[in-house]
Amino acid sequence: MAEREPLPIAQIGEPVLREVARTVTPDELATPEFQTFIDDLIATMHHAKGAGLAANQVFRPVQVCAIEVRDNPRYPYKPAIPLTILVNPVLTPVGDEQFANYEGCLSVPNLRGRVPRFVHLHVHAWDRHGNEIDEVVHGLKAGTYQHEVDHLLGKLFVDRADPATFSTWTEFERHHRAAFVEEARALVARVGS
């Protein structure tokens, strides 16, 4: 089988990134066309080496995002997250504890910044087949979920980040990566994922 052609990824400034994504109906989710779109979303995320990708980012403002971390060269410090599709996700913080997550985005090339994220998060959504997802996620995984679901709300990480922490990827690697990796490892050791 031939490799899927990646979808174009919207870049900051594209109006679709500021749209609130519409809810997906069970009937729509079950169609072969929508399942093909999910396959294309996953293939595009893999091609771009992202930890996640929301439908808005590929010009389709529907409430779907794909998340997966496995041997990702962009995020070698992130714990593995199995391939997860969230449809119509609702995230609810569990407690008030937050951490400062250094984030980047496929729609905001060559920029990173520190974003406050909740450490513990209740996730309610459907998977790609309409089965209920009802779980609590923690740490960096919770941060990744919040980043992707923000896209479905028309938000980018730059909206939540402290502008004083913005850096290019090169300057992040030179000046901030080592300290952040240490913080991330301590968080993972304390709360998991």
Say how many C-beta atoms besides its own lie within 10 A of residue 31's C-beta: 11
The pLDDT of residue 99 is 95
The pLDDT of residue 4 is 82
Say how many C-beta atoms besides its own lie within 10 A of residue 182's C-beta: 11
The pLDDT of residue 163 is 96
Element (DSSP H or E) covering residue 2: none
The pLDDT of residue 78 is 78
Please tell me which residue in 148, 171, 182, 183 is annotated as part of the active site.
Answer: 148
CB 102 within 8 Å of CB 172: yes
Contacts for 91-97 with beta carbons within 8 Å, 24 or more apart?
91/121, 91/122, 91/123, 91/124, 91/145, 91/146, 91/149, 92/121, 92/122, 92/124, 93/118, 93/120, 93/121, 93/122, 94/118, 94/120, 94/121, 94/122, 94/136, 95/119, 95/120
Q: Which two tokens stand for residue 168?
A: 């290019």
28 is catalytic: no
CA–CA separation, 132 vs 125, rounded Å?
Answer: 6
CA–CA separation, 127 vs 66, rounded Å?
Answer: 10
The pLDDT of residue 55 is 98
Instruction: Give me the average pLDDT of each 10-residue run along the chain (193 residues).
Output: 84 98 98 98 95 97 96 75 97 96 95 97 98 96 97 98 95 92 90 80
